Amino acid sequence: MNIYGGHEVKTAIILAAGKGQKMWPYNEYRPKAILPVGDKPNIERLVNQLQNLQFERIFIVVHYQERRIRHLMEGKKGVEIISVPTPQGTADTLQKALEYIQDTEVLVAYGDIVITTNKLIKFIEEFRKEPKDGLILASFIDSQRSQDWFCANVREDKMVTEILGHPRPHYVNYQLLGMYCLKKEHIHYYVKRNPGMMLNVNVGMMPHLEGELEQSLQMMVEDQKQIRVFNAEKEAIDLDKPWHIMESNALITSVEVGGLKENSIHETASIHKTAEIRGYVKLGKNVKIGRNVMINGNVTIGDHTVIDNGAIIEENVMIGEYCTIKDYCKIGPNSVIGNRNRFGHCAEFQGVTFENVSFTHYGEVFGVVGSCTDIAAGVTVGILRFDDLNQVQRVNGRLETPEKYGNAVYFGDYTRTGISSQYMPGVKIGNNCVIGPAVGIHHDIPSGKLVYNEQQLKMKDWGSNNYGW
């Protein structure tokens, strides 16, 4: 059933061809469009949302690690994959897809946009009510740096007067988030005439040589086309840098888990009489909630997962399938635990784990843990600087200070940590690394590194004579 009635936008194009280098270390083994958000890869979440809103055809434009996306979308009806051999920016990749489009209007989304279903519905409804020439999803700029994004200057009536690339803040008032409803005739005309770089920048700014869709939109504005902004109101996030994994998952868990109004418990699930649940739960097949488990809020738990022996789960948590979480470990609020994870004795975690993560004996971690990474006994993450300031992060060679989650620690994929290793606020550990026991990490570690201490031992004679015998 079409839940908002007869809209004309039935085709979507998802652009997912880029390398996502600012997402290091999580871009080396995957395109960032398949990063986990909530209980599934983000592009799968986005496709499901669109199909539930009666989109009939969804085109995904791919290049970097395209097989990962093809594998994920295998057998998905209504989804077609378009491979671009040498993408040269979002305008270039979009142009490749336009020849497949028959509808007069199309939704264009970047594969790394995270949006709540409620906001997506309202965005499409808004375009249906007043199509004009285009509708842009954007968020009002309050404290974030405008220099990090494509932005727009917007009048009080929500009409766009100018779109700029990475501008200074006094020129703009909205950040573009990567979702557009447009008329095909316009985007075909203006994308075809894209100059191959972002021309509309402030004096002193330095654009790169890629054809940006936002430059085509600016050309539409210059030709007096009517493009409006729809305010995302903090219900959409551009999944661009490692800390946005934390931010996106916090948003989705707050909405989807925090919004539970009743229990949903599969008939094969079981809850021990000593368990205490202070919220609503959604339990999959063969879920077991065992002895003395404490659940302090709403939680969703995937099939065949066991929570047992005094484990503590805080509010708004998503736990995947085939997990084992037991022995007085603690999962913090708004955490997302991937499939086939193991958490054991007194391990304390808050953040996001990918699939096949193990953290089974003491320790305290706040951050993101990549696929098949082992968190050893006694691993400790520090999240508070002595000066109480936010941690500066290095992204693609550039220093940035995130507003949120900059002090979290980011472990890459297929990495091993030694017992009692320590990690200072905000460090990133690359993929395929080994961090030795009792090592203190103060800086980012590149992928493929073994880091260990060379200890200098001193030995002296000792015995009863030292005690006066």
For 347-388, how does the pLDDT look when each residue is reduced to its tens digit (9 = 90+)? 999 999 999 999 999 999 999 999 999 999 999 999 888 888
Task: Specify whether the CB–CB gap between 407 and 385 falls below 8 A.
Answer: yes
Q: Where are the domains of the chain?
A: 11-240, 263-451
69-85 mean pLDDT: 94
The 8-class DSSP code of residue 390 comes to: P
Radius of gyration of the chain (CA): 24
* Segment among 29-38, 82-91, 293-302, 427-436 with least mean pLDDT: 82-91
Q: What is the reported pLDDT for 128? A: 83
100-125 mean pLDDT: 94
For the chain, what is the mean pLDDT?
A: 94
Give the pair of three-digit tokens for residue 108.
């264009």
The CATH fold of domain 11-240 = Spore Coat Polysaccharide Biosynthesis Protein SpsA; Chain A (3.90.550)
214-238 mean pLDDT: 95
22-40 mean pLDDT: 96
Q: What is the reported pLDDT for 411? A: 98
CB neighbours of residue 3 within 10 Å:
9
Predicted TM-score (pTM) of this structure: 0.94
Q: How confident is the model at residue 131 (pLDDT cuts 50, 70, 90)?
A: low
Task: Specify whether the CB–CB gap between 332 and 349 falls below 8 A.
Answer: yes
C-alpha to C-alpha distance for 2 and 193, rounded to whole angstroms = 36
Q: What is the reported pLDDT for 455? A: 86
Q: What is the reported pLDDT for 4? A: 39
Residue 144 confidence (pLDDT) above 80 = no
For the packed helices 42-52 and 66-73, what is the interaxial angle rounded to 10 degrees? Answer: 40
* CATH (residue range 263-451): 2.160.10.10
